[in-house]
Each structure stands twice: as structure tokens, then as C-alpha cells.
Amino acid sequence: MSKQIETEFVQAVMPTYNRFPITLVKGQGSKVWDQQGTEYLDFTSGIATCNLGHRPPAVQQAIMAQLDLLWHCSNFYHIPSQEQLAQCLVSQSCFDQVFFGNSGAEANEAAIKLVRRYAQKVKQTNQIEIVTFQQSFHGRTLATLSATGQEKLKDGFGPQLPGFRYLTYNNLSELDDLAQLKPIAVMLELVQGEGGVIPADQKWVDKLVAICHQHDILIIVDEVQTGMGRTGKLFAYQQYNFEPDVITVAKGLGSGFPIGAVLAKANVAQALSPGTHGSTFGGNPIATTAGLATLEQLTAPSFFSQLQKRVTYFWTALDQLSKQSDIIKMIRGQGFLIGIEIEGQVIDYVNRAREHYHFLMLPTGPDVIRLLPPLTASEAELDHAIEILRQLFVS
């Protein structure tokens, strides 16, 4: 393909992304390759999507088998892989029913609709307010953007959807406002990924849960980025020892195939009766086959015990590296969702890692690097990453 044609193709795409100057054409495990055949160690995982690495063999085999059978049918018919995946998600969580969509934003949008309808049809109230938190990120549809606590993302898209109020994340005293506000729900990430990789404090979560239970406020946990093993357990809420009413998942559920889901307890799920919500592609045979095969790998015996060993191994090495560096200010996160706060411009380090060390990592704001290793990354690959980070931040 000539450079002229390549340029024409690029110009045909709306410029909604600041793309790095490489084109990836192949992936396997923790590695990807560009058009020139250059190999990269990928610690972005498609932004926490390829949690089992690129093209995990068991998922690939399941999808290839499904391709020979049926690609799509409407949700007017039973879809076996959809029903099996729903049952698997229910059996691995505290929830009773599942709705499938195509993305994290769709899942969050569906969760917002669900709790609004629950408030109006089950609780018989006209209250619509949902409390979310500053620096949160819940998606880019109008509803999920309105739920997001970052004003810079809303520029030019007003007016916002009414019904959202924002409190300060991890602020204990502000939680007292919940009792007076009496919202229908709170919606939160237990690790704010796009907000700088900030984990929720356990005491803050405990107080939030207690207030919500006392005042009959639903709890929605946005697990789009934290779910499917990213924090070291299948779902992040399991790290905090409480049961939400609703969670949303996407990203890692399909190993790269578009899928999103809302998991809810039965008393809340009853609010969505036939005809109240739907999705043409949601829960289609290909996506749910990918999801089922992915979940089967994640829930295999010893998967999480082995993952925890690698998580501990990597964090120990990161802690040692941090003590040796004058550039690293803080390392925070959970599991393989890691933020490195640094002195200086993050993008310079991201570019240097890619260009000189063939190592892919992500910026999250001006001063935080986000590392998202595949959950299947080997100790040798983790060692390689640590050596590159040493070259960047110590040497």
C-alpha cells in the first residue's frame, strides 16, 4: 500500500484519537508486532481488554468453532452461549441476572436506566439523582459522560443529562451528604483508572456501604476496567468485602471481542421487563462465545493463586525500583492495574519506552503512567519490564 493511499485512509477517519506513530498488525500473548516486524512487549493489554494476552488459544479455538455455526441472531431467540455465559457470571458473583450489550459505556448506560426504572416502578419515587465521584470515568455517551466526574471531557457536549451529583472520591466527611441527598444510587469505580489509578480506601468504602444500606440507596460498581481479574480477583468488589446491587463489566470479558454486561440482584433486575431495554448485537453468539471461553480460563483451578504470586513478584520489584528512583513519586493501584506517578512529562517517557525499548505503556493524565500487563505475563516478561523501567527512571 502506498504512502499516499495510507494517508487518504487516515484522513477518512475522524480525528478523535491522538494515535502513536505505529501500526500493530499481529499479537500473541504479551507481544505485538508492527508492520515492519518489530516486536513490542505490550503492557497496555488493549487498555485492560486482552487480560489473557493477545489471541489466547482456548478463546481463539472457541470462536473459530462458532464461526462455522452461527454469527448472529436476534434476541427474540434463545442463544445458548449467552445463557451459559450469564449463568457462569452469576455463579462466580453475588448477582442473579445479566443483561448483555457491546461495550462498557453501554453497560453503564443500561445500569443507569435500570436503577432509574427501579426507583420509579418498584420504589414508586420520582427521585432520579445518582451520586458519582470527582475524577471518575464512566463512558462517552451523553448519560455516561454526565455521570463522569471530569469536566474537561464534557466541553462542547452540553447540556448534560440531569440527575447526577458529584462527591469527592475517598473523602470520608463528604459521605455524610448521602443521608441528606437520598439519591437512588451511588455509582463508583473501586480503582479510578482514567482518573489516575486511584484505589478506593477501605474505610471510605465501608462507610459508603453502611450509609447506602441504612438509607436504601443502591450501589453500582463500574467494573469495566477493574473486572475480569484485573485487580487480582475476578471482580474488584470482592477485594472490598461487600455486595453491590449492580456491577458493569466489559473490556476483559471478551478478550478483545466487543461485549459489555450488567449484573444485578434479582430485586433490582425485575425493573427491566420485556420491551424496556434491548440491544441488536448485545449477547450475540460470537461475543458471548468469546466471553464464555475467557471466563472459563479465568475461573480455572489455581488461576488466581498463580496470578497473585506474579502480582506480588512484580509489585516487590516495583517497590524496589521506586526506592532507587528520583523520578518516581508514587506507585499505586491493585493487581495488574498500576499507576506510576512521576516527575516530568509522562508522554516523553511513554514515547521513549516505545521508540528505544519497544515497550508499550499508557499515559493517564500529565503525570501518571498506567501499566496493564496481561494477567498471563510470565516472570521473565515482568523482569524485562522492570529492567526497561529501570533504564527509564533510574539510569
Q: How far apart are CA 184 and CA 163, in angstroms?
A: 10
pLDDT at 11: 84
CB distance 224 to 104 below 8 Å: yes
Convert the pLDDT of each residue in 220-275 to its tens digit: 999 999 999 999 999 999 999 999 999 999 999 999 999 999 999 999 999 999 99
Q: What residues have CB less than 8 Å from 125, skipping those under 6 apart?
A: 119, 184
Q: Please give the helix or strand (H or E) that residue 10 lies within, else none.
A: helix 3-11
**Contact of 27 with 54, CB cutoff 8 Å:** yes
Report the pLDDT value the prediction gives residue 7, as an integer from 0 to 100.
62
Cβ-based neighbour number of residue 31 at 10 Å: 16
Q: Give every CB contact of residue 29 below 8 A, 6+ residues apart in sequence.
A: 53, 54, 55, 374, 376
Q: Give the separation between CA 10 and CA 313, rounded to whole angstroms.
A: 41
Nearest to 261 by CA among 27, 44, 81, 103: 103
pLDDT at position 2, please? 41
Q: What does the alpha-carbon distance between residue 110 and residue 249 come to, in Å, rounded to a whole number?
A: 11
The candidate with the shortest Cα–Cα distance to 259, out of 105, 90, 84, is 105
208-244 in b/e burial notation, b at 16+ Cβ within 10 A? bbebbeeeebbbbbbbbbbbbbbbbbbbbbbbbebeb
Q: What is d(CA 216, CA 223) in angstroms, rounded to the nearest whole number? A: 22
Length of the chain: 395
Low-confidence ranges of the chain (pLDDT < 50): 1-5
Q: Write down the architecture of domain 57-298 according to CATH.
A: 3-Layer(aba) Sandwich (3.40)
Beta-strand pair 185-188/218-222: parallel
CB-side neighbour CA atoms (13 Å) of 312: 6
CA dihedral 139, 231, 96, 129 (to 10 degrees): -40
End-to-end CA distance of the chain: 40
| Omega before residue 363 within 30° of 0, cis | no
Ordered by start, the domain boundaries in the chain are 57-298
Q: What pLDDT is recorded for position 8? A: 65
